[in-house]
């Protein structure tokens, strides 16, 4: 209950932060797809793993993946692909205090109350470490979808850290920043493709860390090359699936597609995207819809934004209660990210690929059942 | 594909704007629940129906519901509850132009391309009329959940129309406006419980209409009395399900829970909700989390916001293309709402009830399987 | 919970025997399929309806269907297709006794205990009348699948009534009886294509009725023209889905595919189907597998059998208990079939089409996502 | 697609016969359940593993399980439980011939055609080795369900091997053989609780093996202590779920519940189970229904039978075709069971526990949402 995602391209994740490992089972990946850890899975996980730069947690995890099933002689079999990643950097002593005290704005209290038990080491199942399975599965979805439909590109990047952001956010318009290459995004530890701004963001994150504090921010995710017709109204609209995917990520508090909240300040005559014929294609002059109309992709660039709250773990004393309900104080310890946003970039991309692969397959099921004249 | 929502309290909706009617099948409603059209379904539909005030579309539909199955001698049977509402105000001549031309920022083009066919009359399946089934089902979910767990209240209201809004929006804090009664919300046609502001909003909407234009806005939805423990991590977190539910509604572009985008400007030390013991209960001093931590309700007020774009149908000439791809011009006709936000209030509530009932049942399945000592 | 079937071609049925009607919502039907009540739905329902011959119940129901949504100008829209059939022959007085007493081998006691309530009129939801929705949906599945993949034929017929049967049953071999036409099956009221045997069967059923008794029997269902590759191992094997579909029908107690129970008496060297190359096609010399190997269709004729118990309603006094648990006696009243098997033939076919359409779509989703070289 | 089972207590299995291992992810297991490999999982797997007696395959696999997630300090967390079992006895050279030739009555041809690829080593995903995940998950389901509802017992045993069987089969009556203890079943390698018959069965299997041949048989599975009310009509009836579960097992061809096919020879007056009041309980005098009425358990003993075909792998030359379609001959090699039925006993029990746990949770979700007066 709650640990699977997707209908056709369906993943089931498992694992706690400090248990035996983290993993995912992917059901629905097409057969005959070349797939390897080295070329496909590990590069994605390396973008997510801790310790990748000096603004992330120093937790030492190589996050080395193994494909245990579903691939034979380098090709997918069409059977479930199981991928596992062991947990190696286990320091239970660092979590002794958390056994008794609930960390503010963490999931300790709610897990304990919902389940009557929790693995308090490193957050257990509520740890962002759980997203390893998503990233691994996202890499498979990406490979599958790009093999089936060349030209689809998904690119997420950091648009804002704390108060430092590109102008695009809040304009209600499609991003002005040119669609960046993966290299541009990866050029800085903060994954903002504007180098100057990135430097400021990194400084901001380091400042927060030096104060034992944390910051949040916004990721924008853009998709181009998407065919018209993906999305399953009425409940499984493309934006609805994306919203669920994003709000299922740790630390997310907000999602908007296209013009988002800014668009609610516009009038209809300002907001509507007029159609035109551009080189034989039906296109829109503007793209406040964000690439989706009526829950279905319209061939324009798909873009949406995800808001991440500041990391809940801070190295300052905070009032809280313990398991008995008694008021007490807690000082965050252990290794943590002063800002989760940079490492969330590949996770946002992974969830996007998973949504797109699933919706693609739904449409293929329909097309493949169309009347043959 | 795409027309069902929920896992355990599961609904399937059907119907086009101008076909034989609109309806819903509800599977999973518990037995022995008193349920009637008059007391439960119709009042909810009446809040949604067109023509209810002078700021809504004058389309003449009474939206009269019939419970066709699942209720016997006034009580639910535990079998599927089918509810139907006929379409009565059918004016196909009003839609002749739309048969050939794609309305900007509507779903005409995407439906046509995805399915290779569409019911062009009034938007067909993409019409907001589809939400009738949701509202009817939401009324059943409300009845079921309130019968099982007394004290849960869901209250949505309009927080902003165009540029006119309560201060709460964008603060990153829990709503300051006192939790309004249903009567307060229903007191004005715009469903904003601040009477002065409501008057301004109504004027704003009328202005837009008189200009053949439209406006958007924001609805806030608040839930109190919710027990700790609802939400199914990791993918079916409470906020993820709510986000999907809201983004599956027509005209929505944005969702945020708790501090939302505003919270991304805070530092962790500003943002964290510290725990305290309040009269024997574990509570948080502030509520930037919005009632959810780790995807699970924490007993605080749940609140989230939904952004609605300005109505796409405007009574001004707009550039567009026709089905052949040729550029042309379209002037919106027909009856429409210059602002969908007031009528969306009961729809947002309905979707919230559906999410809560579904999550409640998931947790009950778990609790009912707990080891008996 | 429990009222939907299929993953991609998905139906949700609703309705009680004596409520407002019976219906079905079909989600996943492809667009642009010509569909009408007159040509597609009603003929199927007419094969199922009561009163069609002198060996069925005289209950007067025309079972007149209406397509309420999902079809526009004669073509499917790709949106949910809602079909309703009203209940017209309502005689509550006939069921007064059943309000208090549990009919033996009926669902009265279990429904009452499970749900704490039941619609006692005519069996409520447990009535075979519920299958109307399945038959209507099956007609749509048939139309869709035959349009997508010409040449698939599904033919069920009565192989045995009580002790009177074709030799095929229990042989462990593929049916020797030539694949009959629909006309051959429909030629007799009992739906056995062997005319002489059919006459004996009809006499047997009439004898049972004259004694106030009932009889059961076996239906065989055969599918030819099925492509290789349908079936989703491991849990959704073709035979597993068919078994579920058939055992979900009222009065069924047994299912076997291919050699079935008879095959368990054979040795492997007797039972194996040897492959050969027949006119360039990989085929098997025998077909004890029943057209399925490893849960996937192998291109041979698919055949399976379904066992139906004798009708539980008999017009003889039977010992039973009432709702208070007190022992009492009940004499069956009302209109019933002395043998449900003939009318179950179109229902078995409908469920088969639903399984095949669903499995077809799963495979199309996979094929449509295959790597494009 | 196809590799998950259950709605509430949901498992996803993965793994090929000769890949990196076999495993399962269990989602929905309640928290706070004591669970260990040693006490719960391994004993179940040991009943299934190869080499356990002289009538099973000598393949050397210890099938040693590891719980990788979902258990903390000996208790379940309510999070997904991942269990893995490595493949150790890997002899690819034994399968060289199978790379090119399709084994008769195996899944080689259908997998190859459906997926365009297959792992030919030991059957890949179609190997019975896949059932390891089911057995491990079934052990968890058993533990959970017995903890929640004491007194439920599931006991499967071999009722017939080839032509040697208990009289119960085919009688249409509830089993006369006294409900055996686990020890009685496990007393012989063939898992038939009648010691004399078991000896004959073992001799029969050894004879088949010495001739390079194989035999099939029938397993009966009996459940007592089941509460009234499990089963989700109309599609997810208890017998429908059981039928699917059983027909999803390799080598199964037939399923019957209660009187089964034999019951189709009876008249209604012979077949009906009359109700009586036995010590204050509503009970039936006979139990031809097999413990299920209207798809819902009625408190009587649940019993059903599953037919297994003779093992397809035989050590005799058989005509077949190769991947190019050319006719050729194949002699079975490798290690195989001359009869799969004895080892299938714990697998049938496992699938039964999985069905019961899932249906239990569905009913708990309903009960937990009932109106509180």
Q: Can you give the pLDDT at residue B151? A: 95
| Closest chain A CA to residue B361 | A1
Interface chains of chain D (3 or more CB pairs under 8 Å): A, B, C
Are the beta carbons of B275 and A231 separated by less than 8 Å? Answer: no
Nearest to A175 by CA among A332, A19, A21, A302: A302
Cβ contact B312:B105 at 8 Å:
yes
Q: Which residue of C has its CA nearest to D292?
A: C110
β strands within chain B, DSSP E: 4-5, 10-15, 21-27, 66-67, 71-72, 75-76, 81-86, 153-161, 164-165, 217-224, 252-257, 275-278, 281-284, 292-293, 296-297, 302-308, 317-321, 327-331
Find the mean pLDDT for residues A175-180: 96
* Chosen from B17, B75, B80 to mutate, greatest number of chain C CBs within 10 A: B80
Residues A341-372 have pLDDT tens digits of 999 999 999 999 999 999 999 999 999 999 98
Please answer whether residues D14 and D29 qualify as being in contact, where contact means their C-beta atoms are separated by less than 8 angstroms. no
Please name the member of A78, A150, A364 whose beta carbon is closest to the beta carbon of C368.
A364
The pLDDT value given to residue D218: 98
Q: Which chains touch A (3 or more CB pairs under 8 A)?
A: B, C, D
Interchain pair B14, C70: CB under 8 A: yes
Residues of B with CB under 8 A from a CB of C: 1-4, 8, 10, 12-16, 19-23, 25, 27-28, 31-32, 66-72, 75-82, 84, 114-119, 124-125
The reply to whether residue D31 touches residue A116, judged by beta carbons under 8 angstroms, is yes
Q: In chain D, which residues have their Cβ closer than 8 Å to the Cβ of C281? A: 325
**Alpha-carbon distances of B153 from A5, A363, B149, rounded to whole Å:** 30, 39, 10
The whole-number average pLDDT for the span A182-187 is 98
Query: Which positions ≥6 away from D334 have C-beta within 8 Å?
Result: D91, D94, D95, D122, D313
Instruction: Please indicate whether, in this complex, the C-beta atoms of D326 and C277 are within 8 angstroms of each other.
Output: yes
Determine the residue among D233, D369, D372 to mutate to test chain B binding: the one whose Cβ has the most chain B Cβ atoms within 10 Å: D369
Interface test with D, best of B225, B369, B372 (most D CBs within 10 A): B369
How close is the nearest chain D Cα to the Cα of A160, in Å? 34
Chosen for mutation from D82, D88, D121, D140 (greatest number of chain A CBs closer than 10 Å) is D82
Mean pLDDT of A210-223: 97
Interchain contact, C33 vs A367, CB within 8 Å: no
C-beta separation of B99 from B52 below 8 A: no
Give dist(CA A45, CA B49) in Å, integer.
Answer: 50
- The pLDDT value given to residue A231: 98
- Closest by CA position to D234, among listed B158, C267, B322, C13: C13
First to last CA, chain C: 43
Identify the pLDDT of residue C171.
Answer: 87
Task: Please report the pLDDT score of residue D56 as a whole number.
Answer: 87
Q: List the structure tokens of B7.
A: 């896992």
C-alpha angle C260-C263-C264 in degrees, rounded to nearest 5: 100
Residue whose tokens read 């069921």? C95
d(CA B275, CA B289): 12
Average confidence (pLDDT) over C202-226: 97
pLDDT above 80 (res A94): no
> Which tokens go with D106?
């195996």
Residue D171: predicted pLDDT: 87
As a whole number of angstroms, the distance between CA C213 and CA B105 comes to 66
For C100-111, the pLDDT digits (tens) are: 999 999 999 999
pLDDT at B111: 97
Chosen for mutation from B236, B365, B366 (greatest number of chain D CBs closer than 10 Å) is B365
Is C76's pLDDT higher than 70?
A: yes
Backbone phi, psi, residue C96, to 5°: -55, -45
Least confident of A18-27, B56-65, B361-370, D358-367: B56-65
Structure tokens at A235: 């409940």
How many Å lie between the alpha carbon of C81 and the closest alpha carbon of chain D?
19
Mean pLDDT of chain A: 95
- What distance in Å separates the CA atoms of residue D157 and residue A70, rounded to the nearest whole number? 33
pLDDT of amino acid D331: 85
Which residues of B fall within a CB distance of 8 Å from A253?
A: 239, 256-261, 263-264, 290
Q: Are B275 and A316 in contact (CB < 8 Å)?
A: no
- Binned at pLDDT 50, 70 and 90, residue A334 comes out as low
CB contact under 8 A, A314 and B272: yes
Query: How far does CA A299 lie from the centroid of its chain?
Result: 23
Contacts of A117 in chain D (CB under 8 A): 31-32, 72, 75-78
Q: Sort out which chain A residues have CB atoms less than 8 A from B116's CB and list them.
A: 370
Chain D neighbors of A14, CB-CB under 8 A: 25, 68-70, 79-82
Determine the average pLDDT of the residues in D199-206.
98
Residue contact C8–A32, C-beta within 8 A: no
CB contact under 8 A, D114 and C229: yes
- For chain D, the maximum distance between any two Cα atoms, rounded to a whole number of angstroms, is 73
Angle between helices D341-367 and B341-367 (to 10 degrees): 130
Residues of chain B with pLDDT under 50: none
The answer to whether D77 contacts A12, with C-beta atoms less than 8 Å apart, is: no
- The residue-averaged pLDDT of A230-249 equals 98
Write out chain B residues lying below 8 Å of A125, CB-based.
233-234
Instruction: Summarize the confidence of residues D267-280 as an average pLDDT.
Output: 97
Whether residue D334 has pLDDT greater than 70: no
Q: How far, in Å, CA of A112 to CA of A115, rounded? A: 6
ipTM comes to 0.98
Q: What is the mean pLDDT of residues D46-56?
A: 91
Asked if the Cβ–Cβ distance from C248 to D242 is below 8 Å, we say: no
Average predicted confidence (pLDDT) for chain C: 95
Fold for the domain defined by A4-367: Chorismate synthase, AroC fold (3.60.150)
Average pLDDT on A210-228 reads 97
Q: Taking CB atoms and an 8 Å limit, are A274 and B326 in contact across chains?
A: no
Higher pLDDT, B64 or A19: B64
* Residue A298, pLDDT above cutoff 90: yes
Mutate to test the interface with B, among C29, C32, C80, C95 (most CBs of B within 10 A): C80
Closest residue on chain D to A33 (Cα): D117
pLDDT tens for each residue of D109-124: 999 999 999 999 888 9
Is C175 a residue whose pLDDT tops 90?
yes
C220-237 tens-digit pLDDT: 999 999 999 999 999 999
Helix ranges (H only) for chain A are 42-48, 96-100, 108-115, 131-148, 182-186, 195-210, 238-247, 260-263, 268-271, 341-367
Between chains, do B30 and D366 touch, taking CB under 8 Å as contact?
yes
Report the distance separating Cα A16 and Cα A9, nearest Å.
23
pLDDT for A89 beyond 80: no
CB under 8 Å to A358, separation ≥6 — which residues? A6, A7, A8, A9, A10, A241
Res. C334: pLDDT tops 70:
no
Nearest residue of B to residue C11, measured between CA atoms: B12
Indicate if the pLDDT at residue A313 is higher than 70: yes
CB contact under 8 A, A365 and C362: yes
Question: Alpha-carbon distance A246 to A229, whole Å?
Answer: 21
Question: Is the distance from CB of D323 to CB of D193 less than 8 angstroms?
Answer: no
Amino acid B56: pLDDT:
87
pLDDT score of A234? 97
pLDDT at A93 over 80: no
| List of chain C residues whose C-beta atoms are within 8 Å of the C-beta of residue B19 | 68-72
pLDDT value of residue C216 = 98
Chain D nearest C-alpha distance from B34 (Å): 9
Residue D184: pLDDT band with limits 50, 70, 90:
very high
Spatial CB neighbours of A39, under 8 Å, sequence gap ≥ 6: none
User: Given pLDDT bands bounded at 50, 70 and 90, which one contains residue C168?
Assistant: confident
| Domain ranges within chain B, ordered by starting residue | 4-367
**pLDDT tens, D77-104?**
999 999 999 998 767 677 788 889 999 9
């Amino acid at each position: 209950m709650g640990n699977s995602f997707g209908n056709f391209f369906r993943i089931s994740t498992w694992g706690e932060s400090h248990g035996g490992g983290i993993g995912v089972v992917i059901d629905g990946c097409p057969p005959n797809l070349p797939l390897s850890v080295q070329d496909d899975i590990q590069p994605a996980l390396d973008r997510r793993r801790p310790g990748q730069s000096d603004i992330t947690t120093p937790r030492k995890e190589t996050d080395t993946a193994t494909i245990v099933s579903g691939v034979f002689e380098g090709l997918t079999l069409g059977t479930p692909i199981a991928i596992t990643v062991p947990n190696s950097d286990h320091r239970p002593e660092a979590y002794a205090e958390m056994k008794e005290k609930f960390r503010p704005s963490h999931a300790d209290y709610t897990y304990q109350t919902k389940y009557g038990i929790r693995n308090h080491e490193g957050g257990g199942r509520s740890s962002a470490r759980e997203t390893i399975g998503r990233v691994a599965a996202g890499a498979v979805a990406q490979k599958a979808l790009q093999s089936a439909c060349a030209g689809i590109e998904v690119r997420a990047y950091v648009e804002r850290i704390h108060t430092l952001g590109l102008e695009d956010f809040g304009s209600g318009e499609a991003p002005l920043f040119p669609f960046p290459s993966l290299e541009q995004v990866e050029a800085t530890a903060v994954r903002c493709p504007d180098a100057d701004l990135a430097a400021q963001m990194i400084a901001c994150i380091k400042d927060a860390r030096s104060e034992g504090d944390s910051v949040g921010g916004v990721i924008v995710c853009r998709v181009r090359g998407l065919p018209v017709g993906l999305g399953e109204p009425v409940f499984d609209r493309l934006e609805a699936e994306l919203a669920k995917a994003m709000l299922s990520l740790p630390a997310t508090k907000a999602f908007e597609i296209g013009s988002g909240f800014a668009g609610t300040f516009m009038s209809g005559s300002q907001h509507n995207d007029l159609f035109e014929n551009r080189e034989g294609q039906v296109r829109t002059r503007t793209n406040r819809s964000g690439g989706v109309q009526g829950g279905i992709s319209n061939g324009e660039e798909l873009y949406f934004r995800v808001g991440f709250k500041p990391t809940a773990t801070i190295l300052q004393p905070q009032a809280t209660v313990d398991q008995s309900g008694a008021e007490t104080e807690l000082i965050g310890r252990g290794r943590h990210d002063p800002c989760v946003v940079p490492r969330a970039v590949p996770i946002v991309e992974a969830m996007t690929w998973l949504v797109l692969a699933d919706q693609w397959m739904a449409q293929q099921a329909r097309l493949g059942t169309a009347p043959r004249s």
